[in-house]
Structure 1
Amino acid sequence: MKKLPIGIQTFSKIIQENHYYIDKTPFIKKLESGGYYFLSRPRRFGKSLFLDTLKEAFSGNRELFKGLYLYDNWDWDKKYPVIKVSFGMGVHRTPQELNLKIIEALAQIERNYDIKLTNQTPSGKFYEAIEKLSEKYNQKVVVLIDEYDKPILDRIEEPDIAKENREVLKDFYSVLKDADPYLHLVFITGVSRFSKVSIFSGLNQLNDITLDKEFATICGYTQTELETVFEDRIKDFDKEEVKKWYNGYNWLGESVYNPFDILLLFDKKEFRPYWFETGTPTFLIKMFQKNQYYLPDLENLEVGEEILSNLDIDYIYPENLLFQSGYLTIKDHYRISNKNYYLLTYPNLEVKTS
């Protein structure tokens, strides 16, 4: 049997150390021509791994993809300089801390590519890094940003600090608009979908694929993937019971299994709400305790697209946070007078058994 990639977010480690890997590289092929993309998914759902896989593909590391779809379906002669920034590490307590962490991340880019950044501000260094990498390699740059919203969510129960962190991020991301001539692909992931106006002001070409049916299974495991890749593991379990527990997530396409739950099920050989026990965002719990929300009332709740599509510190809806954090998912959807409406439901037994 192969190893279970529990907690591993590095593509090369999964491949080189013989872990199970669900081939999501057909989605990378769809991004080959470039553009600006945004994807929201719950925590521990495979976003960081997908971003790291993107990095390896655009860096031209072909041998890592042997046996995968992309190996024979990619132009490996083209290699792009890649800037990857993750806000997943640590807690961002103040705007000063956040600025320092951005500068540290860009200093790592300096070392990786042997360039010198002379600008002083985080946004200035970011723009300079993009420009210099493009000039040095005579190629456009790929920018990957993971957990773009964590510095805001870390302080969501303290609105004043959250707003200050938002302004720092807004200034940082604003570089992407002016750096457009030097950019090939921008891919941004996070838990929440803050409104473009509040975070990505001016970045009108940003394509939000969160509820795009074509990308519905970009993260998570489909039924076919579970039964083929994990064939030697799933045979020891009642498939219907596995489905009842972990297959409740839907983003307007085929439903998917929670990968964190599946991996721990195979490891522990016991049905438990693993994601709920360890992946629950603390910011969400704090907000619900403060406002005394009664979660069962949200079962089969009907909401409009305006609630699921936008989140801002000044206008926080419980339905929005629950959906974007993974507590609720789409059970059904319909359209009336050119407006989208969604029926929400708890994704599986995780919440019901807590």
Structure 2
Amino acid sequence: MEQQQLKRCPIGVQTFEKVIEGNYLYIDKTEYIYRMAHGASNYYFLSRPRRFGKSLLVSTLHSYFAGKKELFKGLAIEKLENEWTEYPVLHFDMSRAKHVDKETLESMLGFQLSGYEQIYGKSEEAVKLNDRMTSLIMRACEQTGRQVVVLIDEYDAPLLDVMHEETDLPVLRNVMRNFYSPLKSCDPYLRFVFLTGITKFSQLSIFSELNNISNVSMLKPYAAICGITQEEMLEQMHEYIERLAVSQEMTKEETQRKLKEKYDGYHFTWPSPDIYNPFSLLNAFEDGELNAYWFGSGTPTYLIEMLRKFHTLPSQLGGSMQAMVASFDAPTERMTNIVPLLYQSGYVTIKDYDKYTGLYTLDIPNGEIRVGLMQSLLPNYLAYNTDMGLTTIGRMYGAIRLGDMDAALRLLQEFLSTVPYCDNTNYEGHYQQLFYIIFSLFGMYVDVEVRTPKGRVDVVMRTADTLYVIELKLGKDADAAMSQINLKNYPGRFALSGLPVVKVGVNFSAETHNIEKWVVEE
């Protein structure tokens, strides 16, 4: 199928009017717009990861409340809405205020206010940001005769990069709190208020006074308000799948499976439809490639800093994470673990829920995020020789695909001999985590500390046709590692897997911090 026959994918296009008038592909989310606009609340908050369609959603709300009926022709809301009232809309984009100090933040907020003050006028007495916001809302309402709509996209953007800093966070938070404070006092003048962000509002203590806001982030009726569901992809994007299949020289069924493995797996409540990362999916369709688009667009520095702060091990990012619903709203200053931030940032997602215990089970959503996360953590285990390490890992993957674990370990030994010592290499857990990262980058199943009737296996890794049981020792002996595997009958734990089990005993030298010896038995 020729590319010009399909609508362009809106890569980087976040304005609804431009998407419609430019004849870009649009996945219809207007039913959610109508639902919120006519809901019980006039104040809404939505948390979703970056590049998940929040800005386009806010822009769609802007066009709707501005009464631009002609843009919604053929969409779901056209059949639902009868009035199409035009309201004054104040639309603030906080993504412009990243990496700023107090003075710059105040200046940028003032600049956004001044654009609307040129339309509705400015009170001479209103000097502070909160007074200017209050005056602006009241003037817009009085001049138009209609209540005001306030849309704030990425409300927490100025604060995310200082989340781990004890000095700058309170200062910037106070600026933002003052800026947002009129949203409660101006309630009689407001028709609708909508805020988006990554962290939940209670985490930054901004909305302590705004207690009438409806947080729809984990509500089932809004589970698919952002992102692309499996159903939407198959019904509205099947031609794009066919074109990608041709580009990748795969069948349509194989292409769908690859897309699911790489970009699907998000759930923002439970039960929930499967939701694909829209940024990665659209880029894959546009480029004809299956690359790491979302992760490659930038790993936030605040996330890596918080992972370090909470001493989060790579293996702890898997399916063993559990959290109560209240944990997702824990104030950032009092966070006791990294789980809520990982969830809100899109690096783990809901995979199950136990209604009896109230516990959510969380896991990495898909292959793109798993590989990206492990690559981000790899420098901590390879003394920042990451590029050379990734090349070695690629060669190791080739060896293991051929069933040659001996060659794979030899490659790792050769590479580690060229790497300066890392910190914290004097305990077995360091090497256990290194193996976990490497096997995760293979895209294969891997787990650590796997329970058996007689003990715990250090590392278990499964390929398409083989299961590897690996025991690691530091400053001891590879034969001792193999003896432990046999003595405790670790392979028996995996007899029902239906795969042949290969036993691997590895010893790391406490002096050289490298593999000293290994034993492989089938």
Common topology (TM > 0.5): yes
* Cα pair distance change 1:197/1:322, threshold 3 Å: closer
1:2 corresponds to: 7
Structure 1: distance between partners of 2:198 and 2:22:
29
2:62 corresponds to: 55
- Check conservation: 1:82, 1:141, Cα contact below 8 A: yes
* Cα pair distance change 1:260/1:38, threshold 3 Å: same
Structure 2: distance between partners of 1:210 and 1:309:
11
Q: How does 1:1-354 map to 2 (within 5 A)?
A: 1-33=6-38, 35-111=42-118, 113-118=119-124, 119-195=126-202, 198-236=205-243, 237=245, 238-252=255-269, 253-289=272-308, 291-300=310-319, 301-315=321-335, 317-336=337-356, 340-354=358-372
* Cα pair distance change 1:245/1:186, threshold 3 Å: same
Structure 2: distance between partners of 1:127 and 1:173:
10
Q: Secondary structure at the match of 1:303?
A: strand
Amino acid at match of 2:358: N
Amino acid at match of 2:70: E
Per the TM alignment, residue 120 of structure 1 is displaced from its structure 2 partner at its CA by 0.3
Q: Secondary structure at the match of 2:18?
A: helix
> More displaced, 56-65 or 91-100?
91-100
Count of residue pairs brought into register by the alignment: 351
Q: CA RMSD in A?
A: 1.7
Per the TM alignment, residue 283 of structure 1 is displaced from its structure 2 partner at its CA by 1.4
Amino acid at match of 1:305: V
> More displaced, 217-226 or 236-245?
236-245
Per the TM alignment, residue 116 of structure 1 is displaced from its structure 2 partner at its CA by 2.5
User: Any idea what the Cα deviations from partners look like across 1:222-260, whole Å, max 9, x if unmatched?
Assistant: 112112222211123311221111111001221210000
2:445 corresponds to: none
Amino acid at match of 2:306: M
* Cα pair distance change 1:133/1:75, threshold 3 Å: farther
Q: Secondary structure at the match of 2:295?
A: helix
> More displaced, 185-194 or 313-322?
313-322
- Check conservation: 2:94, 2:153, Cα contact below 8 A: yes
Amino acid at match of 1:16: E
TM-score (norm: length of structure 1): 0.94
Structure 1: distance between partners of 2:355 and 2:175:
37
Structure 2: distance between partners of 1:198 and 1:166:
8
User: Any idea what the Cα deviations from partners look like across 1:5-38, whole Å, max 9, x if unmatched?
Assistant: 0011100111111100000000011022361101
Structure 2: distance between partners of 1:316 and 1:121:
36
Structure 1: distance between partners of 2:202 and 2:353:
21
Percent identity of equivalent pairs: 38
Structure 1: distance between partners of 2:147 and 2:201:
27
- Check conservation: 2:48, 2:197, Cα contact below 8 A: yes
* Cα pair distance change 1:41/1:279, threshold 3 Å: farther
